[in-house]
A and B are shown apart, each in its own frame.
Chain A
Amino acid sequence: MPIMLRKKDFYAGLLMVLLGAGIGLNSATYSLGTFAHIGPGMFPFMLGVMMAIVGGLIFVTGLATPLEEGERILPAAMEWRGWACILAGPLMFILFGLYFGMAAATFMCIFVSALGDRTATVRRSAVLAVVVAVVGCLLFSYVLKVPFPLYRWGF
């Protein structure tokens, strides 16, 4: 693999250039207006152009500097389980919250995300989830009165 492709700045710069170009092109579809009467597209257009320029600079400095020792883009250990569980936790909250209410949503959110730790067991995660869910529901439902029913059955 060429050295270039192993550098963070290569991807960082590329990402910013693409993002800037995307924003710039997209804002050109809104009205740019004139300098005296700036339209809705002007400011984001300028941001997009600047972002692309800065991205280009990041890209160039990435090419110009030698590869740092031990530079790697992905972390040393891929924590697929951890990442998946952390992202799944709040998603579970949405899903169970919409159909079964706050209590179930809270339990599932904590239970699923707790499983992300390498040493986690189903039992311990469940205990943690129950404890936090009880405390959390008391706090948010009774003390802070968040309008979110504790139980519901809605499909």
Chain B
Amino acid sequence: MFASALSDLWYGFGVAFEPQNFMWCFVGVLVGNMVGVLPGMGPLATISVLLPLTFGIKPVGAILMLSGVFYGAQYGGAICSILLNLPCHPPHAVTCLDGFPLTKQGRGGAALGITVLSSFVGASWGILEMIFLAPVLVKVALEFGPTEICSLMLLGLLAGSTLAKGSPLKGIAMTLLGLFLGIVGTDVETGSERFTFGIPNLLDGIELVGLALGLFGIAEFMKSVNQYSEVNTRYSKVGLRDLRPSRDELRRSIPAMLRGTIIGSLCSLIPGTGPTIASFISYAAEKRVSKTPEKFGTGMIEGVACPEASTHSSVQGDFIPTMSLGIPGDAVMALILGALMIQGIVPGPQLIKEHPDIFWGLIASFWIGNVMLVLLNVPLIGLWVKLLMIPYKYLYPSALFFVAIGVYSTNNDMFQVGETVVVGLIGYLLLLLDFHPASILLGFVLGPRLEENFRRSLLVSRGDAMIFVERPISAFFLFLCVTLLAAQVYVRLRKPKALAALDVAEGNGVATARPAE
């Protein structure tokens, strides 16, 4: 197994080093890193904006680029947290706690250096995990029939919607809404039109790009307009030389990094517990392990190293269920899966065998991309800090233009721009009611496949719904679903306070953005 993994990886490097693919990977991490730094633009908005641009690229390049944006943005988000105390990107909210005090003590540069290092360590572990775990998962999953796939999707959707931020009930509601939106249009099996209201442009269904840009573009801009004040960059003068941590800081960070990496990789195995939860858990764990827990929050370098490492190891780990089972754990993964589907590639266990260039090329590109990010971040840190000063009032109109032209260019259809505006307005109303639209995307991407597999499994059993519990593997997944729900109910009833704190801390940028002191 080891030898075959190595030869596959070698092949992957060959794919990723092809000039075209290499270039797209570079573009992805560069754009991701840049946008990650900008307050108010998360990876979700960026990937949605770039999605239409990738249609002209070959599938491998497109996926390399979009994934590069995702992990590149994670590097950028940390800069924002440490230097400005602005938790614009939820996974890095916890990094503010010790990162910003370090900045005030003049050690912000060292904290950034440690961040780059821990990110790389975390990511490398995540990649290794993917190399060895994904083929095993695929081997198991290839035995699955429609019944098992159906139950597995149900588990993925439940975990994705109830473990993410916000109320689990509302998460489920949004997933159901997403599943529904996913089946609007012509029914593949019977050819009848569903919920098109006589509009011919809806016959092909709702466009992924329009939905994503409405929810994460327009709705987010409506939420954030006039909310960002000028950021205080008093502390953010960081030069290249400041990045080097002292020997003592390095010595203290390394064990923290390793602990964070392990926690992150464990979290990534459970769908739905993405990088945000991983970083919170690892910070709490690090505090518990530490000999001086009372000093956390005053500028402990461990408090930066541990969550950052765990964020990155879980970011890479998130790709495992997405690529090997075709079941995304969060909205970003759903988008990347959607991009694959637009390129005409069917996600699922057969992906590795049918498109080894995509899978192994992606893995190799992770490493290349992470090395690029380390190399980029070190000399460009001064430039990134300058980027932080771009006011939001110039940012969102430009982004809106990209939204409009991006949606238009997917099908050269103005109707879809209008569709995006409508989705944006609805998305904002949902945000006002505390619904998190990320789950909509999860359901949207899986909707048609869930229906198809549901139909097929009932066809196989001749209409006997008991098939879902009679098949052992399917029953096991359903059992996990029930356990998950029961655990949620138990935790919510027993410890509402701790969870409320987590929810607040996880809340999106604007809600928790405290201006720098």
Contacts and interface: CB of A to CB of B under 8 A. Distances in A.
A9 B170 CA distance: 9
A82 B226 contact: yes
Given A90-B403, A90-B417, A132-B397, A36 B459 contact: yes
Contact of B192 (A16, A30, A129): A30
A86 B194 contact: no
Contacts of B294: none
A137 to B, nearest CB: 9
Nearest to B53: A144
Contacts of B169: 54, 57-58, 61
Contact of A79 (B225, B397, B451): B225
Given A44-B183, A51-B173, A83-B225, A93 B435 contact: no
B458 A35 contact: yes
A114 interface: yes
Given A15-B433, A73-B432, A40 B397 contact: no
Interface stretch (B128-136, B245-253, B372-380, B418-426): B418-426
A54 B414 contact: no
Interface stretch (B40-48, B94-102, B404-412): B404-412
Contact of B173 (A39, A58, A82): A58
Q: How large is the interface on A (under 10, 10 to 19, 20 to 34, 35 or more residues)?
A: 35 or more
A9 B392 CA distance: 31
B239 interface: no
A143 to B, nearest CB: 10
Contacts of B195: 23, 26-27, 44
B226 A77 contact: yes
Contacts of A11: 433
A140 interface: yes
B225 A40 contact: no
Contact of A94 (B394, B417, B459): B417
Contacts of B435: 12
A110 B401 contact: yes
Given A12-B170, A61-B169, A89 B397 contact: yes
Interface in B177-234: 177, 179-180, 183, 187, 189-190, 192, 194-195, 218, 221-223, 225-226
A106 B401 contact: yes
B385 interface: no
Secondary structure dominating the interface of B: helix
B58 to A, nearest CB: 15
Given A74-B432, A136-B405, A40 B192 contact: yes
Interface in B442-486: 451, 454-455, 458-459, 462-465
Interface in A17-68: 19-20, 23, 26-27, 30-31, 34-41, 43-44, 47-48, 50-51, 54-55, 57-58, 61
Nearest to A39: B190
Contact of B187 (A40, A77, A90): A40
Contact of A91 (B179, B421, B451): B421
Interface string A87-111: 1011101100110001001100111
Contacts of B398: 110, 128, 132
B433 A12 contact: yes
Contact of B400 (A12, A39, A109): A109
Nearest to B428: A83
A55 B412 contact: no
B401 A132 contact: yes
Of the candidates B53, B397, B463, the one having the most CB atoms from chain A within 10 angstroms of its own CB is B397
B434 interface: yes
A76 to B, nearest CB: 10
Interface in B6-23: none
The interface residues of chain A, by DSSP majority, are classed as helix
A110 B420 contact: no
Contacts of A15: 433
Contacts of A48: 180
Given A40-B187, A90-B403, A90-B421, A148 B225 contact: no
Given A38-B455, A106-B401, A58 B170 contact: yes
B406 to A, nearest CB: 9
B393 interface: yes
A50 B179 CA distance: 11
Contacts of A110: 397-398, 400-401
A54 B439 CA distance: 15
A87 B397 contact: no
B183 A43 contact: yes
A147 interface: yes
B400 A89 contact: yes
B29 interface: no
A1 interface: no
B176 interface: yes
Contact of A128 (B397, B417, B420, B459): B397
Contact of B464 (A35, A58, A117, A146): A35
29 contacts: A8-B432, A12-B434, A30-B192, A36-B458, A36-B462, A43-B183, A43-B454, A48-B180, A51-B173, A51-B176, A83-B222, A86-B400, A87-B424, A89-B397, A90-B400, A90-B421, A94-B418, A97-B408, A97-B417, A113-B396, A113-B401, A116-B225, A117-B392, A128-B398, A129-B397, A132-B397, A144-B56, A146-B408, A148-B409
Given A43-B454, A113-B396, A140-B405, 8 more contacts: A8-B434, A9-B434, A86-B221, A93-B417, A109-B401, A113-B400, A114-B397, A117-B393
Interface of B: 53, 56, 167, 169-170, 172-173, 176-177, 179-180, 183, 187, 189-190, 192, 194-195, 218, 221-223, 225-226, 392-394, 396-398, 400-405, 408-409, 412, 414, 417-418, 420-421, 424-425, 428, 432-435, 451, 454-455, 458-459, 462-465
